[in-house]
Chains A and B, each alone.
Chain A
Amino acid sequence: MEILKCEALRKTYGSGDNQVKALDGIDLSVSKGEFVAIMGASGSGKSTLLHILGTVDKPTSGKVTIDGTDLARLNRTEAAIFRRRKVGLVYQFYNLVPTLTVRKNICMPLALDRKKPNTEYFEKIVSSLGISDRLDALPNQLSGGQQQRVAIARSLIYRPALLLADEPTGNLDQKNTREIMDMLKLSHRNLEQTILLITHDEKVALEAERIITIEDGHIISDEHRGEVKSLS
């Protein structure tokens, strides 16, 4: 079942001589339950793609459909609600609210809908991410690895259709990188979570089932595990 579809996606910044094509005709399809890594050097357009998929940015042209929803049709409020319910975002720098406890940070997307978390599901997430004992701590009382786990827990609390992770290990040491990748794989396996991981680290990318490489706004390769499909 196709959960994400991009058709002729383009994004340009600036105008005239200063125009930069961040994405230049991206066609992409991701099925439910896939773990996809998008690789590329700095400035290749991978973060722009993630921002568009996360509805925090809009494409210049092209069409994006996530779980049957055409993102172009969403106004600001609808986009926010879509982001809350259908997309989980994990950033390199965690982006936790410093004044809220770990528990409140995790439950914030539900709180925005005036909902309470399913206790069983909440316990399952926090225990599998290993942060059960830090729920009442503030983000600044946690290590970088722990903060990223909280960010992952927050992104999963609404059981999103798509989890988008932007260099989630970019700010972590090797040990924490290993652990975070294990967490992502665990959630992929146990919760059948569709994951789109953006990274420039080949080692991290190799953890995914499928690796898409972007260069200058184009997809230059789409490699399924053990199989390389060259697009160039």
Chain B
Amino acid sequence: MWKEYSKSYIQNNRLSGLSVRIAAFISALLLSLLCGVFYNLWKYEVERIVLEEGGWQSRIAGSFSPEEIEAVRNFASVKDMVVRDGTGEGAASYGKQSYVEQGDGQESETVIDLYFDRYGAVLKDTPRIAELAGASPEQTAYHYGLLAMYLIRHPSDPAPRLLFPLFLLITGIASFSLIVIIHNSFVLSMNARIHQFGIFSSIGATPRQIRTCLLQEAAVLCAFPVVAGNLSGIAGSMGILELTNRILGGEVPGRHKAVFGYHPLVLGVTLFVTVLTIWISAWLPAGKLSRLTPLEAIKNTGELQLKRRKNSRILGLFFGMEGELAGNALKAQRKALRTASLSLVFSFMAFTMMECFVTTSDISTRETYFERYQDVWDIMVTVRDGDGAAFEEINEIRALPGVESVVAYQKAMAKRVIREEEISEEMKSFGGFSHASESVVTKVDGGWMVNAPLVILDDSSFLDYCEQIGIPPCLDGAVVRNLIRDVTDPDFRHVQNVPYLNTGSTGEGTVSILMRPGSEEMAEVPVLCYTAEVPLLREEYATLDYYQLVHFLPVSLWEKIRGQIGEGEGELYLRILGGENVTLEQLNGLQERIDSLLAGKYVTESENRIQEYELNGRQIQGMKLIFGGFCVLLALIGIGNVFSNTLGFVRQRKREFARYMSLGLTPENMGKMFRIEAMVLAGRPVLVTLPLAVVVMGLMLKMSYIAVGEFLAQAPFVPIAVFMAAILGFVALAYYLGWRNVRKISLAEVLRDDTML
């Protein structure tokens, strides 16, 4: 049947398969892109885990004799192993062929990192290996993060580790969404020939033969688009990775460069998912069509009918009879245009929401980050395990050309009790500690225990800070940030700060008793000043825990009290200012010099303000580009469907138009009808999206406390209008081509048509 019928049909009706081809291409492209990007995200994550945590799959710790280690090495599924002492030093690799005797053979605390031939053997064989080596189950450990990347979960792993399942879920959702969207293209193509399949059925074609024929046709129509879409998807995922590397490459601290990879298995999975998606999309209408009785099918003239009487009052009111006819025609074509409507509405909605969301996010980031910290920092260096007291390189950095000021600071956490009488009147006016959660404020005898974050500045910077706030420079005490926000006002963007403590009764000369969290140990620190002014640091204070009482203290004082208070967070921060009107090139040069100065001595990460600002801009642009690309692809499905529909007008609607013509409708009247149809089709996404966008954006602005006027001043009207105009333009073009074909219809010929009953 395929040879006899479908081949010639496809050859002679290339345009009728256009929508199917476009749908198949875009489906293959999207799924291939998705699979390619997911595979590379997965690969990157595996590489990151291996780089940061090592590539071992399970581990046994304990005291092992050389014989036991040898036994482990000889275990069938073990590919490789690394034996280390407990401190992580003296590691030796023990491949199957390269066993090296360890030391003098004495037993010591040893860790054996195990690498297996197959990931599937890890959970099953590790307990056996541990037993073989005489280790208890408690002495075994699994690399949960790495194993989870291969969908291997150990029951004792508490983390959800949803990355891989999330990839699978998104692919599944994408596949299902595509089925919903593209199966209509097949419906349209197949339904156009119900009458012909009725003829086949009447001369003895079985339902199975009809279904097979339709599926073979779909396979032929989709073969090239699937291959082309898959290849384009692979190229697209390569492009996205390259784009990501260009945007983020080397500029995000701790990020390693992503190298594009493509496993044959991914190609297999992608092809399988694509073919399955398209097959289901084709099978649904093919199955339905094959189940029609010959009588039902043969009576089908392909003409669009209204199932029940419906009036298009609004269109009739605005555009007269042509409006009513256009409205009825659109209702009759509702099924045929479902793909177009859905994909155009979704694409426009997604694009609009994305643009609005990005704009809101951009305003928020700019206000809360870039503008707020514009003059506060130029370069930030994070020194891992740095100790402010011992950090001598600060003077070398200060001496570097182009450096205006450097602050080295650490952070630590302490607790402090605030007594009732210390609370300011302003704070009392909004209820004191009555709104505080027990997790941050604890009621104790005589007051409330609050968190007291300590910001430990290098001595020189602390003295500068004293000058900044107008107190005599002194290293013997702390400066306390005496501010608390009005906790009853949730507007985080326009925070109303009031004095925290009543400095009238607890002014200078008092002490702050700082306690080690979870301990009875404490230290008395003289308070130099309570102030609302903070040092110029890229820090936010009391943002989550509003009741924090922040203390700034010099590192020399911290050295004296750290024994009682405890250790800091282990990281030392360097805030560097490079002078006014500094350029990106100057900052990059300075950053390089600082990095090279610290290289070899410390593990550091550095960032600079202008670079970060530009990076942020590029990230947003990249995200818009990728997401916008998806929206365009989605819109293309819809536009392809509209073209396919309008190009089939002569076949599908000639009787309808012939009737109109026989009643005296002029080509101009029909042109108007087409314009109305195009306008409704292209206008629907706008009508659906705009009210929704207004509601969603209203909520979003309310939640983010951005003023409507501020948003409107930067609202993405232009890109949204361009997207809308593109949809309108393509739909108008499709209808224009349809109208041009319809104008060629000969009234006499159509009225003579044998099936026109």
A and B assemble together: yes
Chain A residues with CB under 8 Å of chain B are 51, 54, 56-57, 76-77, 80-85, 89, 91, 93-100, 104, 107-109, 111-112, 144, 154-155, 158, 171
Interface contact B5-A97, CB-CB below 8 Å: yes
Contact of B5 among A57, A81, A100, A154 (CB under 8 A): A100
Contact of A109 among B9, B13, B204, B294 (CB under 8 A): B204
Interface contact B754-A94, CB-CB below 8 Å: yes
Interface contact A95-B208, CB-CB below 8 Å: no
Please indicate which of the listed interface residues B8, B201, B206, B298 has the most CB atoms of chain A within 10 Å of its own CB: B206
Interface contact A56-B5, CB-CB below 8 Å: no
Q: How far is the CB of B294 from chain A (nearest CB, A)?
A: 4
What residues on B are CB-neighbors of A91 within 8 Å? 202, 298
Interface contact B207-A89, CB-CB below 8 Å: no
Interface contact A100-B206, CB-CB below 8 Å: no
Interface SS of chain B: helix, strand, loop or mixed?
Answer: helix
B1 at the interface (CB under 8 A from A): yes
B200 at the interface (CB under 8 A from A): yes
Contact of A76 among B200, B207, B295, B754 (CB under 8 A): B207
**A89–B205 alpha-carbon span in the complex (Å):** 13
Contact of B295 among A51, A112, A154 (CB under 8 A): A51
Interface contact A108-B206, CB-CB below 8 Å: no
B532 at the interface (CB under 8 A from A): no
**A62–B8 alpha-carbon span in the complex (Å):** 42
Residue of B nearest to A78 (CB): B206
Q: Using A51-B295, A57-B295, A99-B12 as known contacts, say yes or no to A83 and B204 having CB atoms under 8 A apart.
A: yes
**Contact code string B202-220 (vs A, CB < 8 Å = 1, else 0):** 1111111100000000000
Interface contact A95-B207, CB-CB below 8 Å: no
Q: Using A95-B298, A97-B196, A98-B196 as known contacts, say yes or no to A83 and B1 having CB atoms under 8 A apart.
A: no
**A108–B209 alpha-carbon span in the complex (Å):** 13
Interface contact A85-B754, CB-CB below 8 Å: no
Interface contact A56-B204, CB-CB below 8 Å: no
B468 at the interface (CB under 8 A from A): no
Q: Using A77-B207, A95-B298 as known contacts, say yes or no to A56 and B202 having CB atoms under 8 A apart.
A: yes
Interface contact A171-B754, CB-CB below 8 Å: yes
What residues on B are CB-neighbors of A54 within 8 Å? 202
Interface contact B200-A108, CB-CB below 8 Å: yes
Interface contact B199-A112, CB-CB below 8 Å: no
**A65–B226 alpha-carbon span in the complex (Å):** 49
What residues on B are CB-neighbors of A82 within 8 Å? 204
Contact of B209 among A83, A112, A158 (CB under 8 A): A112
Please indicate which of the listed interface residues A99, A108, A144, A155 has the most CB atoms of chain B within 10 Å of its own CB: A99
A-B contact pairs, 10 of them (CB 8 A): A77-B207, A80-B204, A80-B205, A80-B207, A81-B204, A84-B203, A99-B12, A100-B5, A108-B203, A111-B4
B108 at the interface (CB under 8 A from A): no
What residues on A are CB-neighbors of B311 within 8 Å? none
- Pairs of residues from A and B, 4 with the lowest C-beta to C-beta distance, nearest first: A84-B204, A56-B294, A80-B206, A93-B754
What residues on B are CB-neighbors of A93 within 8 Å? 754-755
What residues on B are CB-neighbors of A158 within 8 Å? 204
Interface contact B206-A89, CB-CB below 8 Å: no
**Contact code string B335-372 (vs A, CB < 8 Å = 1, else 0):** 00000000000000000000000000000000000000
Q: How far is the CB of B190 from chain A (nearest CB, A)?
A: 15
Interface contact A85-B204, CB-CB below 8 Å: yes
**Contact code string B1-39 (vs A, CB < 8 Å = 1, else 0):** 101110011001100000000000000000000000000
Interface contact A99-B9, CB-CB below 8 Å: yes
What residues on A are CB-neighbors of B714 within 8 Å? none
B746 at the interface (CB under 8 A from A): no
Please indicate which of the listed interface residues B196, B204, B206 has the most CB atoms of chain A within 10 Å of its own CB: B204
**A112–B624 alpha-carbon span in the complex (Å):** 53
Interface contact A108-B13, CB-CB below 8 Å: no
Interface contact B295-A56, CB-CB below 8 Å: yes
Please indicate which of the listed interface residues A82, A96, A111, A112 has the most CB atoms of chain B within 10 Å of its own CB: A112
What residues on B are CB-neighbors of A112 within 8 Å? 1, 200, 203-206, 209
What residues on B are CB-neighbors of A96 within 8 Å? 199
**A98–B201 alpha-carbon span in the complex (Å):** 15
**A109–B203 alpha-carbon span in the complex (Å):** 6
Interface contact A97-B199, CB-CB below 8 Å: yes
Residue of A nearest to B203 (CB): A109
Instruction: Give B143-165 interface residues, CB cut-off 8 Å to A.
Output: none
**A96–B196 alpha-carbon span in the complex (Å):** 8
Q: Using A57-B293, A111-B1 as known contacts, say yes or no to A95 and B206 having CB atoms under 8 A apart.
A: no
What residues on B are CB-neighbors of A155 within 8 Å? 203
Q: How far is the CB of B3 from chain A (nearest CB, A)?
A: 8
Q: How far is the CB of B7 from chain A (nearest CB, A)?
A: 10
Residue of A nearest to B757 (CB): A93
Interface contact B208-A77, CB-CB below 8 Å: yes
**A197–B3 alpha-carbon span in the complex (Å):** 33
**A102–B293 alpha-carbon span in the complex (Å):** 25
What residues on B are CB-neighbors of A98 within 8 Å? 196
Please indicate which of the listed interface residues B196, B201, B207, B294 has the most CB atoms of chain A within 10 Å of its own CB: B294
What residues on A are CB-neighbors of B295 within 8 Å? 51, 56-57
Q: Using A77-B207, A81-B206, A112-B209 as known contacts, say yes or no to A97 and B200 having CB atoms under 8 A apart.
A: yes
**A70–B433 alpha-carbon span in the complex (Å):** 91
What residues on B are CB-neighbors of A107 within 8 Å? 4
What residues on B are CB-neighbors of A51 within 8 Å? 295
Residue of B nearest to A155 (CB): B203
Interface contact B203-A83, CB-CB below 8 Å: yes
